[in-house]
Structure 1
Amino acid sequence: MRSENEPFGQKPRSFIEEARRAQIVGSAVAVIAEAGFAKASLARIAEHAGVSKGVISYHFAGKDELMEEVVRHSYEGAAEHVAARMEGLSTATELVRTHILAVAEHMRGHRDQIKALGEIFNNLRTADGSPRFGINGNEELYRMLEHLYRLGQAAGEFRPFDTRVMAVTHQAAVDTMFAYWVANPDHDLAAHARELADLIERACRA
């Protein structure tokens, strides 16, 4: 995802530019989480960030591109955390459990991100009016989870089942876990994640 102000072939962004973009993204998350997608104007985000609206326009082609960057930034942060927790694990059972537990661990400290993502997923549209981030936007996640489930089946850890069905079910359960936690802040997210990991492990076990 590149801005029209950042054509291919342009030199990499400086540390200061990356820091400014991260600041703007952080303010976008905070404003969306507090006020909702419709009221998260560039002017309001700029005010929160302590910059002019022109600074945002310099770094992002418009609100849509900024929203896409919020999604990318949020997913990359979660993926890096989960990958670090998975490093060194050898069994598919450990990997599947760790995916659930680690993503919950990461998001427990990023509740505003989950609220902002929900707002963006429900409201951001393409030119023809369809959702910018529909269910097929999870395709990369589905493939990664399918790979883990196939590893388990090949190793004899998991019983035979349709890995796509299991991957879709796995991700839907994780997404619903977060949606429920956002709506019920006192809900024990860590305990929910452990129960979910147990449930999926038992469902897959050979």
Structure 2
Amino acid sequence: MTQPKARGPYAKTAARRAEIIRAARDSFAEHGFAKASLRDIAERAGITHAGLLHHFPTKDDLLSEVLAERDSQEWQYGHSQVSDMDELAPYLADVLRHHQKAPELMRLWIELAAAASRPDHPAHEYFVRRYALSRDNFTEGMRLQEERGQLHPGLAPEHAAVLLQAVLNGLQLQWLLDDDLDIVGPMRAFMQLTFQRTDTP
């Protein structure tokens, strides 16, 4: 049985929020978070400044939603593309290339993640959950590789998952400092080292 679609005020509110989030994403990407204004975002969304504040009282609220939407889209895409760990490296290469097309959003994510390391930061719990979920998913895949004899000898699945997160974050930060740097090649090299076959002569 198909689930009925939302109608009435709720559907309109959800659609309006989606429009605002898209407008915020475009404004952040064009101007950067610091220079983007709520009035510009409201204009892009086709609503008044007061109307925007009704849905999102602060710019920080909007940024969190923009990043959460990006994460949601990437999780969905990842699940559709990666049915086996052998497909992980090509998927991550696509993710890195996609992020390179929106450097301002990449920069915003890194800046917010660092700021959210403080327990009193509004996005602290979000990033704690986000990293934990990512580690759990990577660890599960690494355990499967270990069972197949395809994880580097002596490398624990939990450690491999943490290292993979560190490599992905570190490569993107380095690229933001030097956009001529190849980050896809090193990521693929790391995956090859991690998934070294123990049965290879």
Normalized against structure 1, the TM-score is what? 0.73
CA drift at 1:171: 1.0
Q: Which residue does 1:45 correspond to in 2?
A: 41
Distance (whole Å) between structure 2 residues aligned to residue 81 and residue 31 of structure 1: 24
Contact 1:95–1:148 under 8 Å retained in 2: no
Instruction: Summarize deviations over 1:97-134 as a string: whole Å, max 9, x none.
Output: 23422322432444343133234334568883586255
Are 2:88 and 1:96 aligned?
yes
Q: Which residue does 2:141 correspond to in 1?
A: 148
Distance (whole Å) between structure 2 residues aligned to residue 33 and residue 120 of structure 1: 14
Instruction: Summarize deviations over 1:8-36 as a string: whole Å, max 9, x none.
Output: xxx8942x544432332223223334444
What does 1:49-64 align with in structure 2 at a 5 Å threshold?
A: 49-64=45-60
For 2:170, which of 176, 179, 187 is the aligned residue?
176
Q: Which residue does 1:31 correspond to in 2?
A: 27
Amino acid at match of 2:142: Y
Contact 1:27–1:45 under 8 Å retained in 2: yes
| Structure 2 runs not aligned, ≥5 long | 1-7
For 2:72, which of 71, 76, 101 is the aligned residue?
76
Q: Percent identity?
A: 22
Q: Which residue does 1:5 correspond to in 2?
A: none
Contact 2:42–2:48 under 8 Å retained in 1: yes
Are 2:154 and 1:199 aligned?
no
CA-atom RMSD in angstroms: 3.2
Distance (whole Å) between structure 2 residues aligned to residue 126 and residue 54 of structure 1: 31
Contact 1:124–1:131 under 8 Å retained in 2: yes
Aligned residues: 189
